[in-house]
Structure 1
Amino acid sequence: MSKKKKKRTAGDVIRTLILILALGVFLFSAVNLVQIFLEYKQGTDEYDRMREFVTEEVEKQPQEEETETKGEEVEEEKPKAPQVDWAGLQAINQDIIAWIQIEGTDISYPVVKGEDNSYYLKHTFEGKSNIAGAIFIDSANSSDFEDCNTIIYGHNMKNGSMFGTLRKHFKDAASVSGKYIWICTPQKNYRYEIFSSHVVDAAGEVYTLFPEADDTFAGYLERMAKQSLVSFDVPVSKEDKIITLSTCTGNDATRFVVQARREGEY
Structure 2
Amino acid sequence: MGKQRTNQPRRKKKKKGDLLLTLALIAAIAVFCFAAYNLFHIYTEYKKGTDEYNHIEQMAVTDRAPEDEELVDAVSEPKPPISVDFDTLKSVNPDVVGWIYIEALDNINYPVVQGDDNETYLHTTYENNYNFAGTIFVDYENSSDFSDCNTLIYGHNMKNGSMFGNLKKFTEDQSTYEKSKYFWILTPEKNYRYEIISAYTTGVNSDTYTLFKGPGEEYLNYLNTIQGYSEIKTEATELTVKDKIVTLSTCTGNEATRFVVQGKQVNAEPAG
CA distance in 2, matches of 1:231, 1:126: 38
- Give the TM-score taking structure 2 as reference length: 0.87
C-alpha displacement at 1:179, in angstroms? 0.7
Local SS of the residue matching 2:156: coil
Cα distance in 1, alignment partners of residues 135 and 109 from structure 2? 12
Task: Name the residue aligned to 1:150.
Answer: 151
Instruction: Classify 1:198/1:75 alpha carbon distance in 2 versus 1 (closer, same or farther; 3 Å).
Output: closer
Query: C-alpha distance in 1, partners of 2:128/2:264?
Result: 31
In the alignment, the residues of structure 2 paired with residue 75 and residue 91 of structure 1 have an alpha-carbon distance, to the nearest angstrom, of 37
* 2:170 and 2:232 in contact (8 A); partners too: no
Aligned residues: 251
Aligned equivalents of 1:204, 1:210: Cα separation in 2: 14
Q: Deviations over 1:209-262 (max 9, x none)?
A: 011111101111101001101121222221111000000111111110000010
Give per-residue Cα distances to partners, 1:74-131, cap 9 Å, x unaligned: 6534311221111110000000000000112121000000111111110111010000
Instruction: Say if 2:104 and 2:176, in contact at 8 Å, map to a contact too.
Output: no
Gaps of 5+ in 1: 63-73
Please point out which of 232, 236, 259 is paired with 1:230. Answer: 232
Matches within 5 A, 1:1-266: 6-7=11-12, 8-52=14-58, 53-57=60-64, 75-81=74-80, 82-105=82-105, 106-176=107-177, 177-232=179-234, 233-266=236-269
- TM-score, normalisation: structure 1: 0.89
In structure 2, C-alpha distance between the alignment counterparts of 1:121 and 1:47, rounded to whole Å:
15
- Look up the match of 1:66: none
What stretches of structure 2 of length at least 5 have no aligned partner? 1-7
Is the 8 Å Cα contact of residues 154 and 246 (structure 1) preserved in structure 2?
A: yes
The CA RMSD over aligned residues, in Å, is 2.0
**How far is 1:172 from its partner?**
4.3
Greater helix share, structure number: 2
Q: Tell me, yes or no, if the aligned pair for 1:194 and 1:234 is still in contact at 8 Å.
A: no
- The letter for the 1-side match of 2:53 is Y
* Structure 1 residue 178 displacement after superposition: 1.4
Q: Secondary structure at the match of 1:211?
A: coil
Q: Distance in 2 between matches of 1:134 and 1:247?
A: 12
User: Tell me, what secondary structure is at the counterpart of 1:240?
Assistant: coil
The 1-side partners of 2:227 and 2:215 are apart by: 17
Residue 158 of structure 1: how far off its partner (Å)? 0.6
